[in-house]
Amino acid sequence: MTRLLAALADPTRLRLVRLLLREELCVCELVDALRIPQYKVSRHLSRLRNVGLVRARRNGRWMYYSIGRQVALNGFHQDLLKVIDASMEGTSEAKRDDARLSRRLAMRRAGQCVVGKTCC
C-alpha cells in the first residue's frame, strides 16, 4: 500500500494514470498528450509498472501501456483510480491533456498516425 501511494504521489504519474484509464496508449501518444520528454514519460511509467499499476506490451520497437489486469480486478485499486480520475476531471491541465490526446488518437484512427512521430 505504501509503495502504491508513493508511486501516485507525483502529478505527472497521476496524469499518466488518468489517460491510461481511457485506453491502451503508446509512449509517443503519452508524450504528445503531456508535452514532456519521452525519457521522463518512460521513467514515470516504469515507476507505475514497478508497483503493478500499469502493464506494458511491446509491438516491434514501440511500447504500449495500459492499466494492469490485476488492478482491474481489485476493488480497492478500482476505487482509487475512480477517485484519481474524478478529482482531476475538469481541471485545466486535464482538459489540455485530453485535447492533445484526442488529436493524436484521431490521427491513429484515421490511419495517419506514425508511431514515434510527435503531432501538433
Note the pLDDT of residue 116.
Answer: 52
For range 87-111, the mean pLDDT:
92
Model pLDDT, residue 120: 46
Domains of the chain and any CATH numbers: 2-109 (1.10.10.10)
pLDDT at 82 over 60: yes
Residue with cell 480486478: 73
What's the average model confidence in pLDDT over 28-38? 94
- Bridge partners of 64, per DSSP, are 26, 57
- 74 against 10, higher pLDDT: 10
